[in-house]
Amino acid sequence: MSAGLDELARLEENPADPARAQALSTALAVRAALDADFRRSLEAWHEQAKRAHTGGGTVHNEVKGGNQYGPVVMGQNFSNLSFGSPAAAPAPPATARQDPDHSNPPQRG
């Protein structure tokens, strides 16, 4: 009896191969038919997997206006994200800097 590990390894090598997916499915079904504990565990996993959100639905991500100086994450269903220290905002352009002692008033022309 196959435990399904070889079939899983082959499927991981090429996840888009339907024949490899079918081989794993068959191995798991045979094992479940012969091993009641495995069948119960597989059924419990299947119920849990059915409740998992698979990313269905419509997502519209949009960033408008302003400047983003740190991570911008766009998508759906994120969990356990972490980022390092936030990036420092760049200095404003020279034309926007204020003269703190007003010794150089703006020129008008």
HEC letters along the chain? CCCCHHHHHHHHHCCCCHHHHHHHHHHHHHHHHHCHHHHHHHHHHHHHHHHCCCCCCCCCCCCCCCCCCCCCCCCCCCCCCCCCCCCCCCCCCHHHCCCCCCCCCCCCC
Tens digit of each residue's pLDDT (9 = 90 or more) over 30-80: 999 999 999 999 999 998 888 776 666 677 888 888 888 777 888 777 777
pLDDT at residue 92 above 60?
Answer: yes
Per the model's pLDDT, the better-predicted residue between 1 and 9 turns out to be 9
